Amino acid sequence: MTKNFKLSSISIALALICQANNVLAAEKTSASDDKIEKIIVTGTFSGKSVAKEEASFAVSSFSEDDIKKLAPKSTADLFKAIPGVWSESSGGVSGANVFVRGFPGGGDAPFLTVQLQGAPIFPPPTLSFLENSTLFRLDETVEFMEALRGGTNPVISNGQPGLTTNFLLKEGSEDTEGLVKYSTSDYGLQRVDAVVSGALADDLYFMIGGYIKSSPGVRDAGFNAEEGNQFTINITKVLDNGKINLYTRQTDDHGVWYLPTPLNVEGVDNEFTQIGTLNRQASIQYGPDDNKTTETIDFGQGRGWNGSVSGGSIDLTLDNGWGLVDRFIYTKGDADTYGLVPNGGADTLANVLIAQGNTNTTAFGAATGTEYSGDTDVQQIGRWVVKKQIEAFTNDFALTKTFDKGSVTAGLYNSTFSAKDWWALGNQSYHVVAPGGENLTGINCNDNADSCGWNYDINSVGDGRTTAVYFATSYEVSDAITIDGGLRRENHEIEYTVDEGLDGVITKAVSYDESSTAWTVGANWMFADKQGIFVRASEGSKMPFFDDFRDNFGAYQDGEDLIKDVTQFELGYKLASDNYELYATGFFNEVKGDTFVATPGDPAEVLTNEAYGVEIDFNYFNDNGFSVNLNTTIQETEITESPINKGKEAQRQPGWQIRVTPSYDLEFDNGMYATLYGTFSAVDDRYSDNGNTVVLDGYEKIDLGMIFNFTDEVQMQLAVNNLTNEEGITEGDPREPSSPNGRYILARTIDFSVSYQF
């Protein structure tokens, strides 16, 4: 039994992948020594794999074993391990905020694309109340994740200039094998995962897997607030000159939307959640003032994804140096949001009654009839409903000709996408500040909804199409120096109509047809064995999608194209040795034309942002079973153009962050072996708003875990997240920065699983 469980696991996984001729992505161990060679595919023009240290861009890779040790609570939680990325995953299983390299943004993930098997799950990176990580759930069917920052991103795939994360599924082999895992936790999680793979016929392999789960949530809502299931099939046919792959993934998974809570109220901590049994069902009103409709909603549904992602690929090596890769993907489903959203800070009931013009000095619980005195802490809560139906089909075709000294690639990218939205935002009402605090009666605002703040209701339909051609070439100047370049010409069409007010009157209509050009140029110098540097410059864009037109309709009418231009420069150093590897990348970027809208319906602030910094990814491992990863990002950001915030720092992004993850493998005399691991992370102060008026204090967090192997088949894992129960803050109140509201990081949790592998 080898002492280095991580390396042995990777070796076995790679052996199976190689049998299926899969060169998509891997970490492999040589039979003669412990040197690790990492192979990546994300970011290559042709879609073919290259050695990571020979790539002229910044890309990180995470094996199944890496993901297991990180024990992420959601997909966005995994993104914290990517250098250059700041991920606010404290909102629950869906609806994270993800930032990359100082790119501006007020929330969601405007510069993130999530790929499955090399194709974008949904081409728009962000729509209001929907970012890409919501559409993907981690489970035992995932083999690897790769994460590309900047680099060739502006030219390939959907032209995302920021961050592309690519998830690769497990594939079968000649041997039938599988895994069954049961997971539980101190917060009542009940989850079963299963996966099985093998051969259906000669050179025809399958993988089937999924999960079913239920829990009250990391922050106990008092009912099963997180429920979900997922089922995945992956079929691979290996050919003499390549392979064909088909897959489908059906998901129905949702959880409570954790929102900022009042920080100035005693008893509100990192375990607090506003929603509970007493308030999960609530009535909302929507529509025109003279004909309002009342409907009762279950807000316990939270945020989630109920839909399917299906696709495949053809990867062929042809005669005379030709090769082709075609990837296609179809996504359809519902990504709804139901949440209790704070509207301003907490106050005492007495103050609220006075402000509302009430003569009474107490109020009563709408659910229990409890009488609450004037010193009770209360807060106005908006009951928001967003129903969103999305659909997209994408095909990405690349044809490559390889020569003795280089290659030329031509590609055609085409995607169609749509979104149908129905919103009822507002419906404010005062609630008791307590876990699951009930709604109140006896307050004028609550008893007369028309006098209780704003409402924003819409019914919108949007259809879009993006067609792009791209060309790229690379040339080996010498054995050590390679240069490359790429060019993309993209046409972007949007048809979009909005009924604001739900009265059947179209208030905004858009017919948009614009084109843009993106390019990238890079050079790679391997001046020693497994050691080199790269430089890269690129210019790309983030095209406008449906919400950009709704929020900037006046600018659109005035003839502005609403395209956000992104310019980037990178300088990287990489070193891969027998026992350690180092990847360090310096970056500078400028984003022109970014828009920020605090609350839907408000006017947009148009910004230009600049950022520069360095990201470091260091790994050390030895034959005694010890390994450590160091992930550090240091950056400076500045708003260089703004009507009101010029010279300020970009909101919600730390100046520095660091993660250190050590791991140690133990072998016992009876043949059992174990892995002890942990992660120390620390983050700098951040500003809650572009005006830099509210500071979010930095914090430190410790995670610990153990994987214990009783036999080769039976494994146990114990993971403790936030060991010291740190009460760090990930965001303030994005709709009203001056309000004393904030969203805590997740409280301490203990997760346990036991699995049987055959």
Q: How far apart are CA 563 and CA 539, in angstroms?
A: 13
pLDDT score of 647: 95
Are the C-beta atoms of 472 and 412 separated by less than 8 Å? no
DSSP string, 80-148: GGSTTEEEE-TT-SS--EEEETT---SSS-TTEEEEETTEESSSSSEETTEEGGGG----TTEEEEEEE
Q: Pick the residue with more confidence: 585 or 46?
A: 585
Are the C-beta atoms of 35 and 579 separated by less than 8 Å? no
For residue 17, which amino acid is it?
Answer: I
For the cut 50, the answer to whether the pLDDT of residue 20 exceeds it is no
Q: Which two tokens stand for residue 622?
A: 């030895």
- Predicted confidence (pLDDT) per residue in 62-76, tens digit: 999 999 999 999 999
Cα 179 to Cα 72, 182, 201, 258: the distances in Å are 19, 10, 21, 32
Domain count, the chain: 1
Q: Distance from CA of residue 583 to its chain's centroid?
A: 23
pLDDT score of 601: 65
Q: How far apart are CA 99 and CA 88, in angstroms?
A: 8
Q: Which two tokens stand for residue 552?
A: 């900037």
Measure the CA angle with vertex 685, ends 693 and 125; round to 5°: 85
- Predicted confidence (pLDDT) per residue in 437-453, tens digit: 999 999 998 998 666 77
- Predicted confidence (pLDDT) per residue in 136-182, tens digit: 999 999 999 999 999 999 999 999 999 999 999 999 999 999 999 99
Q: Distance from CA of residue 533 to its chain's centroid?
A: 29
Please count the residues of the chain.
758
Please state the three-class secondary structure of 625-644 as a single string: CEEEEEEEEEEEEEEEECCC
For the cut 80, the answer to whether the pLDDT of residue 565 exceeds it is yes
pLDDT score of 46: 84
pLDDT score of 33: 35
Q: Distance from CA of residue 117 to its chain's centroid?
A: 16
pLDDT score of 449: 62
Q: How far apart are CA 719 and CA 707, in angstroms?
A: 9
For the cut 50, the answer to whether the pLDDT of residue 21 exceeds it is no
Q: How far apart are CA 21 and CA 563, in angstroms?
A: 41
Mean pLDDT within 246-252: 98
Q: How far apart are CA 606 and CA 489, in angstroms?
A: 25
pLDDT score of 3: 36
Which residues contact residue 18 at a Cβ distance below 8 angstroms, ignoring those fewer than 6 apart?
Answer: 26
Q: How confident is the model at residue 13 (pLDDT cuts 50, 70, 90)?
A: very low
For the cut 90, the answer to whether the pLDDT of residue 5 exceeds it is no
pLDDT score of 243: 96
pLDDT score of 287: 92
pLDDT score of 598: 64
Domain of residue 98: give its range. 5-510+517-757
For the cut 50, the answer to whether the pLDDT of residue 10 exceeds it is no
Are the C-beta atoms of 683 and 657 separated by less than 8 Å? yes
Are the C-beta atoms of 150 and 611 separated by less than 8 Å? no
- Predicted confidence (pLDDT) per residue in 449-507, tens digit: 666 778 999 999 999 999 999 999 999 999 999 999 999 999 999 999 999 999 999 99
Which residues contact residue 69 at a Cβ distance below 8 angstroms, ignoring those fewer than 6 apart?
Answer: 661, 663, 675, 677, 705, 707
Mean pLDDT within 284-292: 90
Q: Which two tokens stand for residue 274?
A: 């506003």
Question: Which uninterrupted H or E stretch holds 234?
Answer: strand 226-239
Are the C-beta atoms of 755 and 728 separated by less than 8 Å? no
Nearest CA-CA partner of 169 in 16, 392, 60, 326: 16
pLDDT score of 454: 83
Q: Pick the residue with more confidence: 49 or 512?
A: 512
For the cut 50, the answer to whether the pLDDT of residue 17 exceeds it is no
- Predicted confidence (pLDDT) per residue in 689-716, tens digit: 999 999 999 999 999 999 999 999 999 9
Q: How far apart are CA 449 and CA 693, in angstroms?
A: 32
CATH of the domain at 145: 2.40.170.20
Classified as helix, coil or strand, 712 is coil
Listed as own residue / partner, the contacts of 188-196 with beta carbons closer than 8 Å and 24 or more positions apart are: 188/215, 188/216, 188/220, 189/213, 189/214, 189/215, 189/751, 190/214, 190/215, 191/215, 193/139, 193/140, 193/755, 194/140, 195/139, 195/140, 195/141, 195/170
Nearest CA-CA partner of 192 in 146, 147, 140, 243: 140
Integer-rounded Cα Rg, in Å, for the chain is 26
Q: How confident is the model at residue 37 (pLDDT cuts 50, 70, 90)?
A: low
Question: Which uninterrupted H or E stretch holds 233?
Answer: strand 226-239
pLDDT score of 451: 60
pLDDT score of 635: 97
Q: Pick the residue with more confidence: 595 or 338?
A: 338
**Pairing label, strands 163-169, 112-116:** parallel
Nearest CA-CA partner of 733 in 598, 549, 620, 624: 598
pLDDT score of 450: 61
pLDDT score of 1: 38
Ranges 439-443, 560-564, 681-685, 718-722: which has the least confidence = 560-564
On average, the pLDDT of the chain sits at: 92
For the cut 80, the answer to whether the pLDDT of residue 4 exceeds it is no
Measure the CA angle with vertex 341, ends 335 and 345; round to 5°: 160
Tokens 């390549």 -> residue = 242
Please state the three-class secondary structure of 676-696 as a single string: EEEEEEEECCEECCCCCCCEE
For the cut 80, the answer to whether the pLDDT of residue 590 exceeds it is yes
For the cut 90, the answer to whether the pLDDT of residue 294 exceeds it is yes
For the cut 70, the answer to whether the pLDDT of residue 678 exceeds it is yes
10 Å CB burial of residue 513 (0-12, 13-18, 19+) is exposed
For the cut 70, the answer to whether the pLDDT of residue 2 exceeds it is no
